[in-house]
């Protein structure tokens, strides 16, 4: 049955069928032509029951909050703050893009939203300052990978539900890797800017920094409110999503006054569509994951991976390679839902904290956002430079340096748990 499912899945993906549809049809094919005495209708039943989860309600809340902040003047204020902090260095506009993406990622929890919000502001500015359009777009796409690593993070919510671990702990564990990735991406920007002879920006004054902090303080304290509320026992992660929506609506509409009813309506519709897509992927992926489990395929795969080597470094490297490979073809949610049940017993056998596995999976799948053909960030970045005759292949060539740097960072994060678990242990 497993061979049938995976064969059909690969075929449908290569035929450019949407991932959620491909997974659902592959599950039906596995039941129909496999050796399990099940009715194909069980796929629909599992889809419904798997999506019926209270923690998953956090996903539409955080998507809506991110949309409200994207259109409510938050992204512009975060760009101003980043500009005051790093704008005076070589490749200053590129550094501003990375730092602003980190700030916005701490609000939105979404990679594409981060690319669209920050890239939409910064890419035109970079091009005007002499950045090659493809390079400017690649910086925005690479910066967008921070969106799901720095909490709150929608993939972390998904992993927390599947693995049965604390979503609040996952959020805390994401800070260290997120900062490390931001530093690594910034170094690439500096090196590439020097190679391309990008001019140095004017240094910022302390007065400009103070004004930028004052203007954006309401935005940058939101992650503190969310995490503080979760750890303080004030609200659950799902309730934190609702708090994020209310908070973003209040400051965007009533304090910044940059949201009107028409824009709010548009944001709600977009968030609803995005939520539907995510939940469709979750539902079909969960049904396939259940089939893989009941057919004992997961146990066989786990046994095979463990048989390769008992060395923790080798196993972690193999897991990273598998996740990076899957990130080329599959969407983030699908990878987490399909692979988490397989990898949890493997990592448990080497004594790895499940929180650590969650971070490894989130970081790897985030890198998948800039690896074609499933490179959502690159597709968003292409739309930002459509008037400059820049295609996907041009941005792909420029993103390669960022991709290599992120893979190196992934291996570092995977083998040094202190970056992920240090803050969790400190808080506890």
pLDDT digits (tens, 9 = 90+) for 242-268: 888 898 888 888 888 888 888 899 989
The neighbour count for residue 424, using CB atoms within 10 Å, is: 21
pLDDT tens profile 352-399: 999 999 999 999 988 888 887 667 788 888 888 887 788 888 888 899
* pLDDT of 147 higher than 70: yes
d(CA 158, CA 160): 5
Structure tokens at 39: 């009715």
DSSP 8-state symbol, 87: T
Mean pLDDT of 192-221: 81
d(CA 137, CA 408): 22
Share of the chain above pLDDT 90, in %: 16
The pLDDT of residue 1? 63
d(CA 114, CA 148): 9
Share of the chain above pLDDT 70, in %: 94
* pLDDT of 350 higher than 90: no
Classify residue 252 as exposed, middle or buried by CB count within 10 Å of its CB (0-12, 13-18, 19+). buried
The pLDDT of residue 109? 67
Contact 150, 175 (CB under 8 A): yes
DSSP 8-state symbol, 200: P
The pLDDT of residue 191? 92
Contact 46, 30 (CB under 8 A): no
pLDDT tens profile 78-115: 888 888 887 677 788 888 889 888 888 777 667 777 88
The pLDDT of residue 298? 64
Contact 35, 3 (CB under 8 A): no
| Total-model pTM | 0.82
The angle at the Cα of 143, spanning 142 to 148, to the nearest 5 degrees, equals 100
Q: Where are the domains of the chain?
A: 1-39, 54-427
At residue 68 the predicted structure's pLDDT band, cuts being 50, 70 and 90, is: confident
Minimum mean pLDDT among 7-21, 27-41, 119-133: which range? Answer: 27-41
The pLDDT of residue 297? 67
The pLDDT of residue 355? 94
């Amino acid at each position: 049955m497993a061979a049938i499912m995976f064969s059909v899945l690969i075929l449908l993906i290569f035929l450019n069928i949407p991932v959620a549809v491909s997974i659902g049809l592959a599950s039906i094919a596995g039941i129909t032509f496999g050796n399990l005495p099940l009715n194909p209708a069980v796929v629909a039943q599992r889809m419904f029951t798997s999506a019926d989860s209270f923690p998953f309600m956090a996903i539409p809340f955080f998507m809506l909050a991110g949309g409200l902040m994207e259109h409510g003047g938050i992204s512009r204020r975060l760009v101003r703050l980043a500009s005051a902090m790093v704008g005076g260095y070589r490749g200053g506009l590129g550094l501003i893009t990375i730092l602003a993406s980190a700030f916005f990622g701490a609000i939105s929890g979404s990679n594409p939203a981060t690319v669209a919000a920050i890239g939409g502001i910064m890419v035109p500015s970079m091009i005007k300052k002499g950045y090659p359009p493809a390079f400017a777009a690649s910086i925005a796409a690479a910066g967008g990978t921070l969106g799901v690593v720095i909490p709150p993070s929608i993939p972390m919510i998904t992993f927390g539900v599947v693995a049965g671990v604390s979503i609040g702990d996952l959020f805390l564990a994401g800070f260290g890797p997120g900062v490390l990735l931001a530093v690594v991406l910034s170094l690439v920007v500096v090196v590439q800017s020097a190679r391309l002879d990008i001019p140095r920006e004017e240094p910022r004054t302390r007065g400009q920094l103070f004004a930028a902090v004052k203007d954006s303080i309401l935005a940058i304290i939101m992650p503190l409110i969310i995490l503080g509320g979760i750890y303080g026992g004030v609200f659950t992660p799902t309730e934190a999503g609702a708090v994020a929506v209310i908070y973003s609506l209040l400051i965007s509409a009533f304090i910044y006054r940059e949201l009107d009813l028409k824009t709010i309506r548009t944001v709600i519709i977009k968030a609803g569509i995005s939520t539907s897509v995510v939940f469709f992927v979750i539902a079909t992926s969960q049904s396939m994951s259940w089939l893989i489990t009941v057919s004992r395929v997961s146990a066989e795969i786990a046994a095979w991976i463990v048989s390769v080597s008992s060395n923790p470094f080798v196993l972690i490297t193999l897991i990273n390679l598998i996740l990076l490979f899957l990130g080329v073809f599959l969407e983030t949610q699908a990878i987490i839902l399909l692979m988490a049940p397989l990898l949890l017993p493997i990592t448990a056998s080497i004594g790895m904290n499940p929180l650590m596995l969650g971070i490894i999976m989130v970081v790897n799948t985030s890198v998948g956002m800039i690896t074609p053909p499933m490179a959502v960030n690159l597709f968003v970045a292409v739309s930002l430079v459509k008037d400059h005759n820049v295609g996907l292949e041009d941005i792909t060539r420029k993103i390669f340096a960022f991709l290599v740097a992120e893979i190196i960072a992934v291996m570092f994060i995977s083998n040094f748990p202190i970056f992920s678990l240090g803050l969790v242990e400190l808080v506890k």
